[in-house]
Structure 1
């Protein structure tokens, strides 16, 4: 249980940081919420280029994202907080085991939104009681750009892969923010330490970085497996491998991870049930089993159909005949999107003549445009 601060104790930067640590945060920095910044211009360029893909909510909230004070006029200081979610194993190890489902490190435990929001609310309540200043709490579900604010507050810098990099925790920090209507001493912004390194850009399986510090989300496996609601474009399916929820490649290869630490918050550790997930077994999941396995977990939010679409592509990339029955099962799913991905998987797994015969038979009765398109593209 966090200590209760004395009401007579003045609220200053040092006190805020001490209390943050006592509330379970691994790092805390302060930034002037009213300061000018370049993040707005960069975001508008990102949207103008179409790099946001189908994430229309980014474009719809551009003005609110433009600056912290656009979210709240009275904000004076941004208290930026980080929770380490560093893994205790190599996050890329499962890529060498195509029979297993690879899920992004951040989605291995409880949903971080829920975990961090509780800490933020408790901490913000204490700050309000001590100072009397109004506060507002943000996790990344709100239109506030946490990464540039975190860089302003000295938590790290946005690397060439656009994610935050910390000298103390590498790539593995969840961010939260408390805006407070009180002026507190700001920390110095972090300096970029990427240098000439391009490891994160070079490793991307789908070449999602058109240039350093730029991301085309439409090519990103995290976007494709999580945010994208329709069929995965054909050009990216093979590159997905067994990644069925997110991708950690650009994070995992960062040299600064040599300073990373294992998460101290046990709720963020990978659950035992998610450590060795068989793609063959997942192919037969229904909504009930899906919800049970991923209860209170980030994967749950994409829904069973999008999940099975990703599983089907993972099966197709496995490239062994024993996956054919599972792929055939998915090709008969009630969701056209899942059926289409199952058809693609069968194309990868079956001898060409057998698949062509199956396609000719199936197209005779398939009427859904999405599914027919998959058959026609496949043959």
Structure 2
């Protein structure tokens, strides 16, 4: 490719505008473009790692600066195309009501439908194919790219913020002024010298709702999360035993946690998705803990096929539900469900069942 300075800025401005329109036509809710300068975010990320807040997520540290320097991950990267895809499903049971009913299993709303990785990647790939098919009319003879969706060392929130898709909230998720935070992000690293967007401004103000409602107080400071205390980390990323002191705080959250989003005032502007792949599957938006705990491994594999939940595996799924059952109000049904698996071959599961039963048999909830 020629030196970017040789190209007409008008030509690349038009191409940039067209890429955004093509993205919308493919189903994305917003597309923005940014450069690769993440110096400020790099310092914050390194400080976060130094504190050990990433817990057992070794992949957050092992790639060094590739996460914060896109051109070192993908050589010749000049721009990042950042895309937003809303995910909140239609006709979903009220999140707050499910959380308040201790007999139900609360599952993070992003995981109620099909695995977003495949959906996002397919759309991003189609956008790249569209660019490839149209690129010659812009007199560009070299278009290279690589697609990402939460699958590589990419600082997606920082990039999306620079691409004008929203701002990084105090809970560290991206917030869009018009659509809240119920969305996925995906990226295309490219060598095209596209016209960049202006970074979004921050509108959190003095609000601390997300910090105040976090069940485990994992948001240790504005814009800083100690993953080791975060329920999403504990139920998804942590493979071993959940710390005893945190188990009672998890409540009935068996896969992820949405409290910081549920109580964010900007989500009053959120809209439901029209993406069919994100529709609720298997009644997961309003299912009982006992029902989930009764699944055999084949049931789990069948019901969670194509779901983001599938990757945590059957043992970890039961571990999480055992904690939820331990936090529920004592009933004969719940105690019987726990006792039915007390001789399970998994040492990890038995440990959490024993803990849950002890809470009920000592009349903890009465």
**TM value normalised by structure 2:** 0.91
Q: Deviations over 1:133-162 (max 9, x none)?
A: 111111111111111000000000110000
1:129 maps to which residue? 133
Equivalent in 300, 312, 324 of residue 290 of structure 1: 300
1:259 aligns to 2:269 (yes or no): yes
| Secondary structure of the corresponding residue to residue 352 of structure 2 | helix
2:65 maps to which residue? 63
Equivalent in 190, 206, 215 of residue 196 of structure 1: 206
- Matches of 1:114 and 1:233 in 2, distance apart? 32
- Matches of 1:109 and 1:103 in 2, distance apart? 11
Residues 1:226 and 1:9: Cα distance change in structure 2 (over 3 Å)? closer
2:113 maps to which residue? 109
1:85 aligns to 2:93 (yes or no): no
2:5 maps to which residue? none
1:230 aligns to 2:232 (yes or no): no
Kept in 1, the 8 Å contact 2:13–2:195? The answer is: no
Question: Which runs of structure 2 are paired with 1:1-379 in the superposition (5 Å)?
Answer: 12-33=15-36, 35-88=37-90, 89-131=93-135, 132-322=142-332, 323-351=334-362
Deviation of 1:36 after TM superposition, in Å, equals: 4.5
Number of residues of Structure 1 aligned to a counterpart in Structure 2: 345
Q: Deviations over 1:181-220 (max 9, x none)?
A: 1111111000010000000000000000111110000000
1:372 maps to which residue? none
- Matches of 2:294 and 2:154 in 1, distance apart? 39
Kept in 1, the 8 Å contact 2:103–2:329? The answer is: no
Deviation of 1:96 after TM superposition, in Å, equals: 1.3
Kindly report the root-mean-square deviation, in angstroms, between the aligned alpha carbons of the 2 structures. Answer: 1.7
Residues 1:345 and 1:142: Cα distance change in structure 2 (over 3 Å)? same
Deviation of 1:43 after TM superposition, in Å, equals: 1.1
1:376 maps to which residue? none
Deviation of 1:93 after TM superposition, in Å, equals: 2.2
Deviation of 1:170 after TM superposition, in Å, equals: 0.2
**TM value normalised by structure 1:** 0.88
Residues 1:271 and 1:36: Cα distance change in structure 2 (over 3 Å)? closer
Q: Which structure exhibits the higher relative contact order, with contacts defined as CA atoms closer than 8 Å and separated by 6 or more residues? A: 2
Kept in 1, the 8 Å contact 2:12–2:195? The answer is: no
Deviation of 1:264 after TM superposition, in Å, equals: 1.4
Kept in 2, the 8 Å contact 1:75–1:179? The answer is: yes
